[in-house]
Structure 1
Amino acid sequence: MKRPSLKPGTQQILHALAVMCMAAPMIASAQQATDLGAVSASGGSGATDNSSAPVTATKTAPVQGSLTARSAQSIVSDQFIRDLTSPVADFSQVLQMTPGMYSYSPNGVGLGDTKTYFRGFSDGDYTVSFDGIPFQDTNSPSHHTWAFFPSQFLGGAVVDRSPGSAATIGPANFGGSVNLLSRNLEPEQRFSAFDSYGSFNTKIYGAEFESGQFGADGASNLLLNAHQMTSDGYQTYNKQTRDAVSLKYQYAITDNTALTLFGSYIDLKSNTPNTKGATRAQIAQFGDDYLLSNNPKQANYWGYNFYHVTSDFEYAGLSSNLGGGWKLDDKVYTYAYHNQQNYNGSTITATSATDKLNAYRTYGNLLRLSQESSFGVFRTGLWAENADTNRYQIPSDPRTWIDATAPNFHERFKTTTLQPFVEYEFQVMPDLKITPGVKYSSYRQNLTQYADNGKTVGNLGGLPSIEHAVTYNTVLPSFDVHYMLRPNWSVYGQYVVGDEIPPTSVFDVKNANVTALPSSIKSKTFQIGSVWKSDRFTFDIDAYHIKFDNAYSSFTDNAGNTTYFANGSSTTQGIEAEGNVVLGSGFSLYANATYGTAKYASGQWVASAPSDTETLGLNYNQGGWDIGWLNKRVGTMYNDNGSVHQAVKIAPFTISNLFVNYTIKHPVQMVKQAKVQFGVNNLFDKHSIVGVNPASTTTSAPAPGDVLTLLPARSLSLTVSLDF
């Protein structure tokens, strides 16, 4: 009988798992520690100000796993956001140093609409939520980091590099989920003011009011934050202004019931063009920072390119212990995004520019119920959401912004989402839990597409508009096992199916005549992992194998036109690890690393999927000092050219940041605390090429017309904040 053979990639993963299983018992002989604990998806980071507590690895780790995790998770601390990110950072910077994740903004940190990648998945292939509530574009489940949740709004994050369990809701748990967490409220009253100035004439100033507990029996608490940011940007004439405000209020109705209200609003203006990079020829002639000109006779004049984006996000949440082990968590919410973008093409004519709108308002409710007994934990709930969208692109004259009669396209549509779920966490033994579950995912789109100038759907046979209705239904099972080998050492195994619906652009065909609708794409994830903690060390490791459909692979050319291609399937597999160690004398060392592959059935690499990533961080925290250096290396990866995969090789690059914080208690009368932060992003001033959009679909040879994405130059910032 012929002996079965394993593929090389599978052999590597099995070998890594064997090493993991042998290494963990050797580590576990160290002293035990208290678990970091589960981080609630209902809001808050779980972080507390406990400066008198002993320094432990869980306290100093910027990112770490949880002993209760049933999948590959990394928890980002509130302290990391406050002390080790730029004051102008968006939420992509909060995720930057977690295992395998990377992003970049060519205009400078926090000064662009940034996308984050991991495990071969790009933005739109995973869910992003805030306090458990998913938010995303309605034409495809993508996200805009500059329009929602800057660092001032955030108190932490939980990154799940898997579709999660049945109870993990979202529109694109295909690749994973990221849950951003709101700020924790504090028991004492505080008023804070801050001011910051940095490279590229970047300024941000603002104030924050924390009420502390007030009212009858201290049942109320309020946090209000407001700031303004302005910057010239690293790239020429790519200016940006952001005004933002957020509010969080909690009221303890009874000892067992609490009400939470949250609201935020952002107004963003920018001179960013539609093509956010310069060509090889332009960079060679004008320098790495070139993007726009100040000459109205040139097509790339900055006055012909601008965004005005507003967004708001609100929810009311009710959580209650109902008795008998039952718990309720219900959130009703709404959020909106209004992006009015105007941009010019490569010439100056009466129709060379585009007047573009992408606007939607979403309403929803997220209901969760659970019941805990001696047999285990029962969880069920329903996510229900409705969204109204208006999108168009109209040819326009950049000199006058007078629009043409007919648009390139115009569509309005409604999206209805329903996701009921149920799972049961069986308490098989005191330390062994087995959780099967199932989620039903239903999306319905009702589209009205209007006659256009022929660029997208055409004249519709003389009709003013045409309507479509489509429903995507998917059953998504999950199964996981969690075992506590020791109080400070857990292991888990997981199998779960995730999904992602097609974008609305599948209807962008001649006369909107869709002859065959695509189905939802699915991913099937197998992974195992282990988490271990002690006073001195934290360590977690996982190995994964994911088979996923790639029906919606796409390429966007330099004019902003997107083509979908390459149906089939792909496989991503690898191993990930992270850990933190207390060195003593205030020092701690954090590191993570990933190794894996993400390839199509042909053997070619998925775009923007690095073969490996490594993060190394050295932190010092003693007295008033809090100093952190974090360095991330992203390994070799590839970009497509519109006709073939693996067309352009992107060499490894490094992102290195340094932050020095010094805090003084009661420096003068009336001031509770003063804090000074000096930050350096891109410490080693690397100008690496991190993306290439080839000018040609027939050759991968470097060409003058290739659009390049580069790391921005080193940037410095100095921030002063006072607490009263």
Structure 2
Amino acid sequence: MLRHSLLDRTRAAFAVALVAVSLGLPAIAQQTGTLSGTLKDAIGASIPNATIVLRNEETKVVRNVRGDAEGHFNASGLPAGTYTVEASAPGFALTTRQGVQLTASNTQDVTLTLKVGGANEQITVDAANANSIAAAYAVMDGVLDARSARTEVNSTYIQNYVAPTADYTEVLQNAPGTYSLNANGVGLGDAKMFFRGFSDGNYDITFDGIPWNDTNSPSHHSWAFFPSQFLGGVDFDRSPGSASTVGPTPFGGSINLLSKEMPDVQNIRGGISYGSFNTKLIDVNYDSGNFGGASKRNNVFIDVHHMDSDGYQTFNYQTRNAGALKYQFKFSENKILTGFASVLWLDSNTPNIKGPTRAQVAQYGDNYLLQNTDPTQANYYKYNFYHVPTDFEYVGYKQQLGHGWSLDTKPYTYSYNNKQNYAATPKKGTISDPNCATPVSGALPCGTDKLNSYRKYGEITSLSQVSRFGIFRVGMWYEWAATDRFQIPQDPITQADSPLPNFHEKFWTNSYQPYAEYEYHATNKLTLTGGLKFAHYTMDLKQYADNGSTVGSLNGAPYVRNNASYNSVLPSVDANYRIRPNWSVYGQFATGSVIPPSSVFDINQTSTSSSPAAVLKTLPDPSYAKSYQTGSVLKLHRLTMSADVYYVRFGNAYSAPSDPNFVNYTSQGDSVTKGFEGETNVYLTKGLSFFANGTAGTAKYVSQTVGGASNPNYNLWVASTPSDTESLGMTFQDKYLNLGIFNKRIGSMWNDGKYATPSASSGQSLNPVLGTNANQAVPIDPFNVTNMYVNFTMRRGSIFDQTKIRFSVNNLFDQHNITSVNPSGSVPLNRIGYAFTPASGDTLGLLPGRSFMVSFTIGLSPRQ
């Protein structure tokens, strides 16, 4: 009886379980659906073999899909929910569709129209091309669509793996071959970046595709434009680019800074950071999300911040107030208007001499620069200061015109107003009255009142047409600039100026770069691109009478006029071949040029009874570059690899200076830069990734003669070119935590010096063009810096979205290496047996000591 009862109960329980499972299976099946769709270009033709990323907006789960030869894709078994669909293909910009609703047991069809794209639009997503988890977690990586050596730095890196005070040079510090110098601390000065033997002024920097630079030479100022609070990513192209790459100096490469993307949800963030050297940063951000009626066509981003710091160097105070606004209005998916505006005010006590001498370091320590106790010395901090307001604005408009044609136009304006005062020790006596109030040779001897100011207006317009054969692009960059520059001798005690300047010039420049190129899709795997760009520049100068330092008195005339015109024809050709969907190879030949600086007219143009006024009869040729490179990009599931070799011949180059913070305009003849670069990302386990890159190369002068005379710098190294560089990093990323540690090593290199003027009896003479400029004069030993970052962030889904605690340590092991030397001594013209001897008067660039920074940010978002 008991046995039968137990058996009956077991059978009943089994039957109930079977019924439950039977009833439950359909319910489970009904919780999934299918996303399918078609990818088309502007004329409605299908785009084959595209990459599609499907991201569940609630769970963050990602499904990677590849389109077929007809442009279709299908992803079944997806959990019901709201999805973001991203699609990309070679030659097209990343296209995103948010808020795609997928219900259980249904198929949702999505049709996306991909637009012709370029590097300056936004960071390309490559992770899906090989279902690569290593690429998905990479904070910087190569690009499968690359036609040249490129590294892309994403927003995750900028938001988590640099200090909050960082500028764009710090953002790129771990990219292959790069390094920057800032002896006052991270983001606390005007840092300069170097790579491949190119110093600042020999490569382009753009912001959302707009090139920006000084007017007297194409250099840049990291402390005056685009702090990391304004940046959403960087596309770093280490090549002259194609014909459609515009700007004054792309031959060294293009650092393409990208503004922040416009999120679709509202969020407001307020944060405060405090760190070493009494550094304080207050930052407020606002993302509106999509708003404006049922269509929600508007979107706004706003950032306002204040930063001040004592700096690592003594009395090198820094204060920055800045704000940025970005607005986007979508008339439709095919017609988009974007506006951006930023302003920045910088005040600093940075002196004209950027480092201490060896004697000062030995006496006061390596953070010594200025002092506040002895006003008779030139390094009294109240005599040395900057005030630099800047602004930058553009309006961008994109529209699909029909029949495959697209328009992209972007008028812009920006200004830079660098007002600087600095002191110098007079040859006789100290800084005191009457020494500083008494002119010497018509000039006050103790200080300088300096201005470098310009306003630019420009426009970049491109038209592109997509056909079944490929993409045709035609466009033009035009820019007009007005510049006012002077340096006036000054008494730093009273700030009274001399009647006549050392120089004063106003000049107006016009830049024109029309181009045309065709990207031929020979097969589904092979893309060939060829193009031609014409670069034309004009410069009209008005140089005012001065105290004899530059153009002279001009025999009573108020000013003299000079003008110049430069032309270059710049072809390019490249190819990209997909060996497999996750493996590409590329090759490129490209050219670039840069016009000589305005200082070529800085000659004495005053006539005397014994000699006529000097005239620049023959303009120097523009510097040019011919670049050859080939490389490969591979993305496996847990590994990504990129490598390239390059050869660049840089013609009619102008030398790097002894002090790498300044530009010397001495013609140096030709140089050749060649080398190897490689980078990799390895996904280890559960959010933990390893990152590494390395370079090895040379950059040497190869002209045996310059100006018809023997070149004493033949086969010597270009200044500030490391023989090798290495970066290593480990990151951990999960929903809330971002941890990272990075080390950058800079190999041995050289700085320039000056040749001693040979005696008349020696039978030697200086090169008439090169003068005293001596390359490979000072050896710089290898150095390295290790930085560590810890971040805890509340993610989307909480009302406190983007609430964050951030901790960073720069120079973790407190290294104090010498990074540059401006020697006080000279180099003999006959170098046999020469070896550099350190001297007490050498000016040094040094690594700043270890620094800490902690940040607290409160984020608020309405519940979605």
Instruction: Calculate the TM-score normalised by the size of structure 1.
Output: 0.92
Question: What is residue 19 of structure 1 aligned with on the other side?
Answer: none
* Deviation, structure 1 residue 502: 0.4
- Contact 2:658 / 2:753 at 8 angstroms: preserved in 1? no
Question: What is residue 676 of structure 1 aligned with on the other side?
Answer: 805
* Deviation, structure 1 residue 556: 5.9
| Sequence identity percentage | 50
Question: What is residue 784 of structure 2 aligned with on the other side?
Answer: 654
- Partner SS, residue 369 of structure 1: strand
- Contact 2:132 / 2:635 at 8 angstroms: preserved in 1? no
Question: What is residue 16 of structure 1 aligned with on the other side?
Answer: none
Question: What is residue 751 of structure 2 aligned with on the other side?
Answer: 639
Structure 1: distance between partners of 2:122 and 2:195 = 23
Question: What is residue 646 of structure 2 aligned with on the other side?
Answer: 544
Structure 1: distance between partners of 2:663 and 2:791 = 44
Within the candidate set 721, 736, 757, 1:609 is matched to 721
- For 1:28-427, list aligned pairs within 5 A: 45-46=122-123, 56-216=133-293, 217-295=295-373, 296-347=375-426, 348=431, 349-350=436-437, 351=444, 352-427=446-521
* Deviation, structure 1 residue 184: 0.3
- Partner SS, residue 169 of structure 1: coil
Give the direction of change, closer, same or farther, for the CA distance of 1:681–1:581 in structure 2 (3 Å limit).
same
- 2:572 is the counterpart of 1:478: yes
* Deviation, structure 1 residue 555: 3.2
Question: What is residue 715 of structure 1 aligned with on the other side?
Answer: 851
* Deviation, structure 1 residue 431: 1.1
- Contact 2:269 / 2:802 at 8 angstroms: preserved in 1? no
Q: Deviations over 1:609-655 (max 9, x none)?
A: 00100000000112421101111101000000033110000000102
Give the direction of change, closer, same or farther, for the CA distance of 1:97–1:36 in structure 2 (3 Å limit).
farther
Give the direction of change, closer, same or farther, for the CA distance of 1:585–1:551 in structure 2 (3 Å limit).
closer
Q: Deviations over 1:212-261 (max 9, x none)?
A: 00013010000000000010000000001000000000000123100000
Structure 1: distance between partners of 2:132 and 2:808 = 24
* Deviation, structure 1 residue 663: 2.0
Question: What is residue 621 of structure 1 aligned with on the other side?
Answer: 733
* Deviation, structure 1 residue 55: 8.3
* Deviation, structure 1 residue 122: 0.4
Give the direction of change, closer, same or farther, for the CA distance of 1:174–1:44 in structure 2 (3 Å limit).
closer
- Contact 2:267 / 2:289 at 8 angstroms: preserved in 1? yes
- Contact 2:752 / 2:778 at 8 angstroms: preserved in 1? yes
Structure 2: distance between partners of 1:156 and 1:673 = 18
Structure 2: distance between partners of 1:36 and 1:141 = 34
Match of 1:555, as an amino acid? Answer: P
Give the direction of change, closer, same or farther, for the CA distance of 1:104–1:41 in structure 2 (3 Å limit).
farther
Structure 1: distance between partners of 2:719 and 2:88 = 36
Structure 1: distance between partners of 2:724 and 2:380 = 39
- Partner SS, residue 548 of structure 2: coil
Which has the greater radius of gyration? 2
Give the direction of change, closer, same or farther, for the CA distance of 1:390–1:666 in structure 2 (3 Å limit).
closer
Question: What is residue 17 of structure 2 aligned with on the other side?
Answer: none
Q: Deviations over 1:309-365 (max 9, x none)?
A: 010000000011112211111000000000000000124223211000000000000
- Partner SS, residue 284 of structure 1: helix
Match of 1:277, as an amino acid? Answer: G
Structure 1: distance between partners of 2:735 and 2:469 = 48
Structure 2: distance between partners of 1:670 and 1:571 = 56
| Gaps in structure 1 of 5+ consecutive residues | 1-31
Give the direction of change, closer, same or farther, for the CA distance of 1:501–1:665 in structure 2 (3 Å limit).
closer
Structure 2: distance between partners of 1:43 and 1:571 = 28
Q: Deviations over 1:505-544 (max 9, x none)?
A: 1111111632321011111001001111133121111100
RMSD (Å), alpha carbons: 2.1
Instruction: Name which structure has the greater RCO, CA cutoff 8 Å, separation 6+.
Output: 1
Structure 2: distance between partners of 1:148 and 1:676 = 26
- For 1:422-571, list aligned pairs within 5 A: 422-511=516-605, 513-555=615-657, 564-571=665-672
Structure 2: distance between partners of 1:615 and 1:457 = 48
Match of 2:819, as an amino acid? Answer: V
- Contact 1:130 / 1:179 at 8 angstroms: preserved in 2? yes
Structure 2: distance between partners of 1:457 and 1:122 = 29
Structure 1: distance between partners of 2:652 and 2:732 = 44
| Gaps in structure 2 of 5+ consecutive residues | 1-63, 67-86, 95-116, 438-443, 606-613, 703-713, 755-772, 829-835
Structure 1: distance between partners of 2:588 and 2:324 = 37
Give the direction of change, closer, same or farther, for the CA distance of 1:703–1:224 in structure 2 (3 Å limit).
same
Structure 1: distance between partners of 2:481 and 2:575 = 36
* Deviation, structure 1 residue 426: 1.3
- 2:824 is the counterpart of 1:695: yes
- Partner SS, residue 389 of structure 2: strand
Q: Deviations over 1:417-454 (max 9, x none)?
A: 00000011112222111111100001100001011111
Match of 1:504, as an amino acid? Answer: S
Match of 2:672, as an amino acid? Answer: T
Question: What is residue 22 of structure 1 aligned with on the other side?
Answer: none
Question: What is residue 698 of structure 2 aligned with on the other side?
Answer: 597
- Partner SS, residue 332 of structure 2: coil
Runs of 4+ in 1 over 6 A off after TM superposition: 32-37
Give the direction of change, closer, same or farther, for the CA distance of 1:210–1:557 in structure 2 (3 Å limit).
closer
Structure 1: distance between partners of 2:811 and 2:656 = 30
* Deviation, structure 1 residue 265: 0.2
- Partner SS, residue 167 of structure 1: coil
Give the direction of change, closer, same or farther, for the CA distance of 1:84–1:428 in structure 2 (3 Å limit).
same
Question: What is residue 27 of structure 1 aligned with on the other side?
Answer: none
- Contact 2:132 / 2:636 at 8 angstroms: preserved in 1? no
Structure 1: distance between partners of 2:696 and 2:656 = 25
Give the direction of change, closer, same or farther, for the CA distance of 1:293–1:174 in structure 2 (3 Å limit).
same
Structure 2: distance between partners of 1:42 and 1:521 = 25
Q: Deviations over 1:36-90 (max 9, x none)?
A: 8767558664489x9xxx9821221111111111011110111100000110111
Structure 2: distance between partners of 1:563 and 1:577 = 32
Structure 1: distance between partners of 2:601 and 2:859 = 54
Q: Deviations over 1:486-521 (max 9, x none)?
A: 111111110011111100011111116323210111
Structure 2: distance between partners of 1:563 and 1:180 = 27
- Contact 2:203 / 2:250 at 8 angstroms: preserved in 1? yes
* Deviation, structure 1 residue 696: 2.2
Match of 1:695, as an amino acid? Answer: S
Structure 2: distance between partners of 1:554 and 1:545 = 19
Give the direction of change, closer, same or farther, for the CA distance of 1:359–1:673 in structure 2 (3 Å limit).
closer
Structure 2: distance between partners of 1:705 and 1:599 = 28
Structure 1: distance between partners of 2:196 and 2:229 = 28
Match of 2:598, as an amino acid? Answer: T
506-515 or 133-142: bigger deviation: 506-515
- Contact 1:578 / 1:591 at 8 angstroms: preserved in 2? yes
Structure 1: distance between partners of 2:838 and 2:740 = 38
Structure 2: distance between partners of 1:36 and 1:639 = 45
Question: What is residue 6 of structure 1 aligned with on the other side?
Answer: none
- Partner SS, residue 360 of structure 2: helix
- Partner SS, residue 379 of structure 1: strand
Match of 1:328, as an amino acid? Answer: L
